[in-house]
């Protein structure tokens, strides 16, 4: 089993990657991850989801984080733009 790491160390070790964490420790609001055990990482989110799936059986909780700045690749259009046509 891996070692518990804080979020700053995880971001430094795996920059701009998706990281699957086991037994994450969250802040009081249960929104931000403070630390966890890195189970699998990759630049490809789908790869982390599929390959990392087999590495989660020994953990009560898991979460997936992105260590970079998330920028959606697709242009998001509102439903109102489609209705107006």
Given this model, what pLDDT does residue 6 score?
97
pTM, two decimals, is 0.79
Q: Enumerate the H helices of the chain as residue ranges.
A: 7-13, 45-52, 79-83
Q: How does pLDDT run across 26-85, given as a tens digit for each residue?
A: 999 988 999 999 999 999 999 999 999 899 999 999 999 999 997 767 666 666 555 555
pLDDT for 41: 96
């Amino acid at each position: 089993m891996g070692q518990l790491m804080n979020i700053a160390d995880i971001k430094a070790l795996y920059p701009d990657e998706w990281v699957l964490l086991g037994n994450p420790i969250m802040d009081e609001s249960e929104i931000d991850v403070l630390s966890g055990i890195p189970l699998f990482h990759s630049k490809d989110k789908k790869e982390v989801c599929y390959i990392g799936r087999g590495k989660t059986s020994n953990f009560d909780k898991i979460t997936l984080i992105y260590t970079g700045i998330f920028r959606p690749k697709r242009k998001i259009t509102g439903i109102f733009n489609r209705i107006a046509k």
